[in-house]
Amino acid sequence: MRGGGLLVAGTTSDAGKSVVTAGICRWLVRQGVKVAPFKGQNMSLNSFVTREGAEIGRAQAMQAQAARVEPTALMNPVLLKPGSDRSSQVVLMGKPVGELSARGYHGGRQRELFEPVLACLEELRGMYDAVICEGAGSPAEINLRRTDIVNMGIARAAKLPVVVVGDIDRGGVFAQFFGTTALLSPEDQSLVAGYLVNKFRGDVTLLEPGLDMLHGLTGRRTFGVLPYAHGLGIDEEDGLRVSLRGTVRESVVAPPLGADVLRVAVCAVPLMSNFTDVDALAAEPGVVVRFVDRPEELVDADLVVVPGTRGTVKALAWLRERGLADALARRAAEGRPVLGICGGFQALGERIEDDVESKAGVVDGLGLLPVRVRFGVEKTLARPVGEALGERVEGYEIHHGVAEVLGGDAFLDGCRVGSVWGTHWHGSLESDGFRRAFLREVAAAAGRRFVPAPDTSFGALREEQLDRLGDLIEEHADTDALLRLIERGAPEGLPFVPPGAP
């Protein structure tokens, strides 16, 4: 089966495309199929650095892990990293190539990227038995179809069959399936083979009459009904789309080993990036992670994390406006733990000189760490390895800011002063021994009788989660039919559903 393929599209953003793609990859690799993920264009602030130093979406890195292959830039050739509601940094083949407005990107630049994106897909198809592609948003965004390089545009060019995923938990999934299909041109519709229902709760037999009627209306079958699965905690593609206050990161349901739990508050800064850094904390029994945006929510926290952000200066202003800056200063003065990661680390420093990201010039930081940061045009993309707290640590770096550390105790690439830590390294808490040592320090400083579990393996937990995704596909989807699609393409003679694209 050399060069087989499938595009997993969705009725909406967050319909489940990323996890379904990962689940199909894990199911296929367990069948002995050499498979790779692909997403031509991704918009996300959660990114990852490959071994060759390329920046790609974390969702594609997770899907590569599901496929048991090393992630590369080929799997996500275009990454858009929003800097505001109207502009994004464009990352091409893992390297930043400029900042563009939405109008500038969709007005011409996006179409210029079509051939490079298609070339990456074809290269992957020459290397693997199957490539499982993920779409973006909805294929029925008719205002963007002319310049599309990630949904039906790539499906048409590569002759990929398409399965559309819908989130039934939100309601209206039948209208979404029908409307998505009916808003596509006849040529696009000819590739839409059918549907996958995601996040279903209850008795599937109650759903079946609706699936039969949908088949009658569209001539397309439903390839599976995936049940709602709790606690997957898989890397999210986009920033959390909530007023983050009170949002709790999913964690394992296990009691603490010690007498106390450990409460972690994550400041929900604007343009928050790589908030997946705290997943490893949430995986620890007895650690409760929540996102906060008010100073009073820091009072009972044992650790406050200031996470990465695509806008450090904007995040600083937000922290000050919300009263969180003063709350962080009080914590530092009281010797209560604070951890800054990447942009959060920069914000904790004394001064920022930024003529690149915000173009704000010299801005005072929070002054909690003896660090001065100057933003450079070149982006640091690295996979460092080091040691801290007596333990080996691996991480990855994605930042324009260059930090000059003027004092404190060494901590990875950053420093520590009392109970305030700062580093540019994302992913460091996924190193099990280091995470346990760090949590012991936090518990001691916070006066909590918390004991880290001695055997929690974040890597093993992630593998279990990916296997659960593979199980969902294997147990609740028509895998024989999916395999035929991947091998042979969309079936001939799929009927046209009017009115079609205008």
Q: What are the catalytic residues?
A: 342, 426
> Residue 272: exposed, middle, or buried by beta-carbon count in 10 A (0-12, 13-18, 19+)?
buried
Instruction: Give strand pairing partners of 262.
Output: 287
Residue 382: in which H helix or E strand, if any? strand 371-382
Q: Which residues pair with 79 in a beta bridge?
A: 42, 91
Under 8 Å CB-to-CB from 134, ≥6 apart: which residues?
Answer: 7, 8, 17, 18, 21, 37, 38, 39, 59, 60, 63
The Cα-based distances of 61 to 22, 46, 347 in angstroms read: 10, 10, 28
- Beta carbons within 8 Å of 94's beta carbon, 6+ residues apart: 50, 52, 53, 54, 55, 56, 73, 381
Angle in degrees, CA 105, 40, 271, rounded to 5 = 60
Whether residue 430 contacts residue 440, with contact meaning beta carbons closer than 8 Å, is answered with: no
What does the block give as tokens for 238? 């986009």
- Asked whether the bond before 499 is cis by omega within 30 degrees of 0, the reply is yes
Look up residue 28 and give its DSSP letter: H
Given CA atoms 149, 150, 156, 160 in this order, what sign does their dihedral have? positive
Structural contact between residues 203 and 209, judged by C-beta atoms closer than 8 angstroms: no
Instruction: Report how far apart, in Å, the C-alpha atoms of 103 and of each of 78, 140, 430 are.
Output: 17, 19, 38
Q: How many Å apart are CA 217 and CA 206, to the nearest integer? A: 19
Output the CA–CA distances (angstroms, integers) from residue 359 to 101, 141, 269, 312, 313, in the order listed: 16, 34, 19, 11, 9
The b/e string for 234-267 (b: 16+ C-beta within 10 A; e otherwise) is: bbbbbbeeeebeeeebebeeeebebeebbbbbbb
